[in-house]
Amino acid sequence: MQSDVQLLGTQVNLLWVVLGAAMVVFMQAGFALVETGFTRAKHAAHVVSTNFAIFGLGFIGFFLIGFPLAFGGFSYSAFGMDNAVGEALLGSGNWIFLFKGGWAMSGDGITPAVLGFFLYMVAFMDTVATIPTGSMAERWKWSSFTIWGVFCGAIYYPLFAAWTWGGGWLAKTWDTMSLGAGYVDFAGSGVVHAVGGVAALAGAIVLGPRIGKFGADGKPRAIPGHHIPMAMLGTFILLFGWFGFNAASTFAATDVQFATVAANTAIAAAFGSIAAMVYITKRTGKPDPGMMVNGMLAGLVAITAPCAFVAPWAAAVIGILAAILAIEAVFFIERKMKLDDPVGAIAVHGVNGIFGVLAVGIFSNGSYGAGWNGSASKGVEGIIKGDWGQLGAQALGVAVILLVIFPIAYGFFTIQNKVTKGGIRSAEEDEINGLDVPEMGVKAYPEFT
């Protein structure tokens, strides 16, 4: 029985989760604007519409079966929640396992708090779903895209989520393999961003580059985005939403670490944007707006896993490294791998998602995360504290993303490409003329272009 104060605390915790969910849902607008701004006007209705429709497509898959699949075996400690706080909020576990009737939020255990938790989680899933719309932009057939959305919400995202946040085997490697506190990922550098980033990679490989991206000599050509202010507005919306993404991942206003998380998030974003400005200016002579944007986003992606476990100085270092990594990765992916990723989604979400996961094992200072995943009660510690076990758990998670999750995405797009009449890529003529009219039936800007 909760006291009056505990009850009020639980109510406030739920309010924080719901507010956080609203902010993460709003991030869909940010992704839409960044991806649309950094691509061409003739495809703009198509690009923005994929980012619009993905919200509902992924949502429906997750609502019907993804949520119970991911969190049916849920344990509070896999979110770092105090068990008492978690039970006060959501009740005892196993409330929604798929085969106990949890599909379509229909089981007996569906309380308001479970619905609030679902809302927060569906918004995270949609972030995964929307990442490939960036790397696959300007050449992805609409009908093929829609299937990805449902697949991502129903099956693709829930897999790795179940193994980590759902309390699955990667969460338990502290016990089974003596690796730190098991896989720790505060708000999803890995569970969300890297998982989305490897899908973006798979999709870009299967689709191939846009017509004209590589010259006859194999050298990449710049294809400038059509609307820089749009992309920067999108980035600010993402920054705003990221406070909900990271800080509300305490699932508790009563865990004041949310303030540390929020500050670290901003610190990494700030240092990331400026590090990118300095680095790209050194490399090319100009403070390229696209790279400043990607530097901030890279910092945000990379801080997402470690944000609760590191000191402010480490957040700054993570932001700086993330920005440099993003810029080098953009060049590497384009010039060495000969892949076409119109918005840098692989570099930002994939590469820096992985970096963020590893950063937990490097920079965590032991001040937070005691009992995470049900492990022994010391805080999460990285190699700066002399502990290499946590880095091992994180590296194992990265290996699973690369060796298990990436092949699933690659297999999905490859099979879909084979079984779909004409493949998953838009018709060549449509791509050249712009996807807007043939795919969507309207132009984005009928009066400007």
Q: Per CB under 8 A, which of residues 389..428 are in contact with its own copies?
A: none
Stretch that binds its own copies, among 9-17, 183-191, 327-335, 425-433 (CB under 8 A): 9-17
**Alpha-carbon distances, residue 192 vs 100, 166, 245, 414 (angstroms):** 26, 13, 11, 22
Beta-bridge mates of residue 214: 220
Instruction: Give least dist CB 389 to its own copies, A.
Output: 26
* 443 part of the interface to its own copies, by CB under 8 A: yes
**Residue 163 contacts residue 400 (beta carbons within 8 Å):** yes
- Find out whether 191 and 201 touch, Cβ atoms under 8 Å: no
Binders in 307-336 for its own copies, by CB under 8 A: 311-313, 316
- Judged by CB under 8 A, the chain residues 90 through 129 that form the site for its own copies are 104-106, 110, 112-113, 115-116, 118-119, 122
| Nearest residue (CB) to its own copies, 34 versus 198 | 34
432 lines the binding site for its own copies (CB under 8 A): no
- Rank residues 257 and 373 by Cβ distance to its own copies and give the closer one: 257
Q: Determine the residue type at 163.
A: W
Q: What tokens does 159 get? A: 């897999």
Piece of the chain touching its own copies by CB under 8 A; list 16-24, 332-340, 376-384, 405-413: 16-24
Query: Nearest 5°: CA angle at 331, between 219 and 342?
Result: 80
Stretch that binds its own copies, among 172-180, 356-364, 395-403, 441-449 (CB under 8 A): 441-449
CB of 296 to its own copies, least distance (A): 7
* Least distance from its own copies to the Cβ atom of residue 396, Å: 30
Q: Residues 321, 355: contact at Cβ < 8 Å?
A: yes
Could you give the CA distance from residue 354 to residue 197 in angstroms, rounded to a whole number? 9
Neighbours of 331 (CB within 10 A): 13
Considering only the stretches 59-67, 169-177, 195-203, 351-359, report the one whose residues sit in contact with its own copies under the rule CB under 8 A. Answer: 59-67
Among the listed residues 266, 333, 357, 398, the single contact to its own copies using CB under 8 A = 266
Instruction: Count CB-CB contacts under 10 A for residue 221.
Output: 10
Task: Give the per-residue contact string, 290-309, with its own copies (x = CB under 8 A; - = no).
Answer: x-xx--x-------------
* Closest by CA position to 74, among listed 260, 251, 231: 251
